[in-house]
């Protein structure tokens, strides 16, 4: 594997600089961010953000109650991002969305000059403010339009520009990985070679890149794709919906290819042919792993119907292995169900995919729901109590809650479709400061995106206690104090001693901070705050309140 790496001198220099950069970001977070050219154009004001009511998650009568809350941290009108300078046209479609440290990256490919320009749009993960774009040219083999391009991070925070070329009717197969740092500065190129026996893997030329596991620069990593695949050197074979993983090991000359096939069961994915060459065509394939044993699969786009999509299908690993025509056995997943619930059904074209999200031990599913002129883009979030059955899905919220921008475009671009990713850990809210409270470890931040329409960050939090409209169960520190909320004003009776009072949103943004002195009662006007869940702190104690 060492022979596959180039530019080792640049690599060593990057390692040293990378450590310094990480330390600086950690120490001087607020100082460094203004170094980027930031723009708030297109960001929703605090009183325009989506608001949601707390819900109790379904469960049996003997289980401990779990309450879920959702808060919009920021929402960006993507038609206005960056000042609306023309970078949001329909020829710049979504290929990926990912987060590295404190920056959200959106990869767009400029189809006006195919294969020539890599553009990464960037946004502050805490505030949604647009940062300066990053640009690079496809170079070397990747400049060829025969490669299916994708941009994604590895687990070490490097950015990979990946190209895969697999010709279904021939024996040609190539994989090229250009490695960059997070500022899109080139580091090295990795070009693994395939043995003749591995070329027997045939892929149709539409892939869903799922991601990279491991550190690209370590030599031990893997890449996963969802694809239409068959094994064998004969043309005309049936193409199975599949998940394929390219596994590279340090010191090994060739990657291994691990295949998981999905048995279509009662559903037959639509197939078309290019009239000119008679090649099969199934369009793109969406694959998502709900857990180790349950996967989601969906087909999207054919030559005749580029924006049509199949239903979302649920598959489960039953432990069976298939080995016919293969060098090694591979697992078969069997189809269980089709997602057909009317309240979760897609309303419009380009609403594609179903994105599993974890918060604590609970699983949720984010589904694109609408994309039209009256509503813009909307998503639905459902609790998924048991990933082995769609019947356990319980719809919770729709977001964003208000209509957003919609730009009509050429509907033939099947890659103009949504993307949802999530990250754990505290994300600091935009208003009015960046302080993170660390209030809830069972939380995740969801980033939902539709090109030319919206990019939003939403905080999903779980708690064992319900939100109260007043405060009870008082503590020794501030005992014998009554609280109430009337007409969005918080009334605190005389405390009897001096105590610090602070009110913060569920994500940690402080909306009120003062000192309540002695026997003076407190009347705190919160009418300027959006409805939602807030944390009231008296001294060292905290309680939740709800503003309706």
Three-class secondary structure assignment of 127-142: CCCEEEEEEEECCHHH
Residue 443 shares a structural domain with residue 512: no
Place of tokens 């694809």: 227
Last residue of a domain, one of 433, 463, 493: 463
Q: How many CB atoms lie within 10 A of CB 405?
A: 18
Residue 478 counted as domain residue: no
- Same structural domain for residues 488 and 448? no
Residues 491 and 443 in one domain: no
Q: Note whether 408 and 522 are same-domain residues.
A: no
CATH number at residue 487: 2.60.40.3080
Predicted pLDDT at 123: 94
Q: Show Cβ contacts of residue 504 under 8 Å, excluding neighbours closer than 6 positions.
A: 437, 510, 511, 534, 535, 537
- Give a yes or no: residue 468 inside a domain: no
C-alpha distances out from residue 283 to 229, 298, 497, Å = 12, 10, 69
Question: Do 135 and 172 reside in the same domain of the chain?
Answer: yes
294 and 324 belong to one structural domain:
yes
- DSSP summary character for residue 147: S
CA–CA distance from 449 to each of 184, 350, 351, 355, 444 (Å)? 22, 12, 11, 12, 16
Answer whether residue 476 is part of any domain: no
Domain boundary, last residue among 463, 493, 524: 463
Residue 243 lies in a domain: yes
Which residue, of 463, 496, 529, is where some domain finishes? Answer: 463
- Please check whether residue 464 is in contact with residue 67, taking contact to mean a CB–CB distance below 8 angstroms: yes
Which range marks the domain in which residue 23 is found?
Answer: 2-463
Residue 227: which CATH number?
Answer: 2.120.10
Cα distance between residue 20 and residue 24, in whole Å: 6
Say whether both 455 and 501 belong to one domain: no
- Asked if the structure places residue 470 within a domain, the reply is no
Residues 236 and 266 in one domain: yes
**Hey, what's the torsion of the CAs at 237, 238, 239, 240, to 10 degrees?**
-130
- Per the structure, how many domains does the chain have? 2
> Across 52-137, where does the E strand assignment appear?
55-56, 67-77, 92-100, 103-110, 117-124, 130-137
The partner residues of 332 in beta bridges, in order of sequence, read: 261
Strands lying side by side in the sheet with 454-463: 55-56, 67-77, 454-463, 443-450, 419-424
Cα distances (angstroms) measured from residue 466 to each of 393, 396, 474, 481, 543: 22, 16, 16, 20, 10
- Whether residue 87 lies inside any domain: the answer is yes
pTM of the model: 0.77
Whether 514 is covered by a domain: the verdict is yes
Residue pLDDT tens, the chain, 548 long:
333 333 322 333 333 323 222 222 233 333 333 344 678 888 998 888 998 888 888 765 556 778 899 999 999 988 887 665 545 444 445 568 999 988 999 987 665 455 567 888 899 998 999 999 898 888 888 888 778 888 999 999 999 999 888 766 656 788 999 999 999 999 999 999 887 767 777 787 778 888 999 999 999 999 999 988 887 655 556 788 999 999 999 988 788 889 999 987 778 887 665 555 556 667 788 999 999 899 999 988 777 777 788 899 999 998 888 877 777 788 999 988 999 888 898 888 888 899 999 998 899 999 999 988 888 899 999 999 999 999 999 999 999 998 887 766 555 566 678 899 999 865 544 433 323 333 456 889 999 998 878 999 999 999 887 764 433 333 334 444 566 777 777 777 655 666 677 788 766 677 777 766 555 556 777 877 877 778 887 766 677 777 77
Q: Assess whether 211 and 353 both reside in one domain.
A: yes
Query: Are residue 449 and residue 525 in the same domain, yes or no?
Result: no
Q: Which of 167, 113, 110, 111 is nearest to 133 (CA)?
A: 110
CA 332, 338, 343, 349 dihedral sign is positive
Q: Do 396 and 275 reside in the same domain of the chain?
A: yes
End-to-end CA distance of the chain: 60
Locate 134 and state its tokens.
């990053």
In this structure, are 393 and 492 located in the same domain?
A: no
Asked whether the beta carbons of 19 and 60 are under 8 A apart, the reply is no
| CB-neighbour burial class of residue 430 (10 A; exposed 0-12, middle 13-18, buried 19+) | buried
The answer to whether position 477 is within a domain reads no
The C-alpha angle with vertex 284 and arms to 282 and 288, in degrees rounded to 5, equals 125
CA count, 13 A, side-chain hemisphere, 280: 20
């Amino acid at each position: 594997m060492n022979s596959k790496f180039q530019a080792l001198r640049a690599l060593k220099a990057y390692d040293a600089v990378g450590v310094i950069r990480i330390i600086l970001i950690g120490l001087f977070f607020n100082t460094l961010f203004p170094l980027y050219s930031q723009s708030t154009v297109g960001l929703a004001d605090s009183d325009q953000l989506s608001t949601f009511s707390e819900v109790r998650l379904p469960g049996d009568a003997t289980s401990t109650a779990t309450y879920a809350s959702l808060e919009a941290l920021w929402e960006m009108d993507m038609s206005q991002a960056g000042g609306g300078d023309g970078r949001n046209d329909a020829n710049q479609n979504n290929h990926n969305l990912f987060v590295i440290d404190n920056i959200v990256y959106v990869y767009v490919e400029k189809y006006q000059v195919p294969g020539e320009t890599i553009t990464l749009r960037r946004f502050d993960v805490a505030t949604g403010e647009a940062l300066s774009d990053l640009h690079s040219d496809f170079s070397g083999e990747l400049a060829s339009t025969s490669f299916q391009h994708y941009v994604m991070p590895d687990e070490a925070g490097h950015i990979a520009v990946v190209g895969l070329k697999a010709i279904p009717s021939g024996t040609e197969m190539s994989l090229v990985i250009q490695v960059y740092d997070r500022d899109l500065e080139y580091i090295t190129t990795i070009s693994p070679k395939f043995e003749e026996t591995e070329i027997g893997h045939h892929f149709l030329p539409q892939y869903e890149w799922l991601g990279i596991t491991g550190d690209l620069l370590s030599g031990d990593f893997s890449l996963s794709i969802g694809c239409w695949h068959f094994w064998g050197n004969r043309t005309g074979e049936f193409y199975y919906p599949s998940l394929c993983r390219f596994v590279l090991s340090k010191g090994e000359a060739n990657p291994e290819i691990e295949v998981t096939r999905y048995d279509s069961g009662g559903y037959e994915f639509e197939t078309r042919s290019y009239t000119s060459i008679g090649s099969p065509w199934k369009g793109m394939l969406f694959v998502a792993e709900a857990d180790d044993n349950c996967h989601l699969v969906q087909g999207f786009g054919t030559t005749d119907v580029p924006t049509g999509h199949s239903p979302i299908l649920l598959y489960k690993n039953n432990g069976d292995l298939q080995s016919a025509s293969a060098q090694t056995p591979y697992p078969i997943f069997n189809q269980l169900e089709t997602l057909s619930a009317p309240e979760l059904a897609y309303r419009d074209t380009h609403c594609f995919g179903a994105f599993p999200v974890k918060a604590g031990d609970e699983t949720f599913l984010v589904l694109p729901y609408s994309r039209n002129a009256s509503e813009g883009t909307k998503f639905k979030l459902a609790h998924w109590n048991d990933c082995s059955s769609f019947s356990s899905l319980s719809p919770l919220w729709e977001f964003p809650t208000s209509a957003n921008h919609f730009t009509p475009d050429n509907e033939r671009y099947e890659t103009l479709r949504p993307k949802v990713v999530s990250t754990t850990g505290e994300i600091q809210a935009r208003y009015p400061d960046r302080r993170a409270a660390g209030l809830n470890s069972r939380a995740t931040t969801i980033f939902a995106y539709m090109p030319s329409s919206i990019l939003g960050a939403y905080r999903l939090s779980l708690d064992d206690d319900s939100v109260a409209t007043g405060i009870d169960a008082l503590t020794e520190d501030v005992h014998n104090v009554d609280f109430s909320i009337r007409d969005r004003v918080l009334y605190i009776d005389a405390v009897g001693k001096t105590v610090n009072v602070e009110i913060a949103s569920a994500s940690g943004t402080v909306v009120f901070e003062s000192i309540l002195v002695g026997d003076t009662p407190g009347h705190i006007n919160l009418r300027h705050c959006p409805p939602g869940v807030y944390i009231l702190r008296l001294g060292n104690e905290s309680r939740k309140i709800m503003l309706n």
